[in-house]
Amino acid sequence: MSKQSTSPVPLGEIAALGHIPVWLDLDAGHSAPRTYDSLFQEQQGRTQSLLYAAGDYGSAATGFLKLDESRTDFRVDVATDVPTVQAGREEASEELIRSRFSTLYLQDMRDETIAALAERFARPQEAGLKPFEELAVFGMNHPGDARETGYGHGLLHLDEHLRPRLDLRYTRILSPDDSAGPERLLRVVARSVADEIEIGAMLDHFQYLANRYRDMGRDT
């Protein structure tokens, strides 16, 4: 792994989310987006375009950030390779079906913290909890046809350390930049294991990012 010439410097912070630093903040049409492997130590070889990154990431002696050490994390990325786009399309369709059958909506739980949400859907330890076990699936109240608005849902599950983690995901398949180009997969991801984070603050920033980047192109 090559050493970064300079360590990343935060561009700002998000006070409502525990003052997490913002490390990358590029417009949708930026001509030179970053890549995962140019910012994060654990993501070497991952070359999807990265437009936005905010989180309480750790820092490595190599000058890279450490994605896996974050408690709260927001990212926006774009992929163009065919396998990733196709996998994203299939995953989004499955998530849409699951969230549409859910009667739970995070908007109705805005004033709760992640700790309170986890307690609401907690399962007894004797149930034999496993890493990444799902506790609840949430709809995102997206109006209209998902093919026009994108696919979004929320998931409360256990992380690899059996900590309750709230994930918010938004996916949209975008048309090529030009007639000869590939389709693009836009993903907005938010996740947090921080007990004190309020659902409303997390949801607001996630929806801000989804609205900001969703019109990068026309759906296919």
Q: pLDDT tens for residues 98-127?
A: 766 777 888 889 999 999 999 998 877 656
Residue 150 to residue 155: CA distance in whole angstroms: 17
Dihedrals phi, psi of 45, to nearest 5 degrees: 95, -10
Q: Which residues pair with 88 in a beta bridge?
A: none
User: What is the structure's pLDDT at 146?
Assistant: 47
3-state secondary structure of 108: helix
Contact yes or no for 168/189 (Cβ under 8 A): yes
The model's pTM: 0.86
Query: What is the enclosing helix (H) or strand (E) of 120?
Result: helix 114-120
User: What is the structure's pLDDT at 125?
Assistant: 64
Residue 163 has pLDDT above 70, yes or no: yes
125 by Cβ neighbours in 10 Å (0-12 / 13-18 / 19+) ranks as exposed
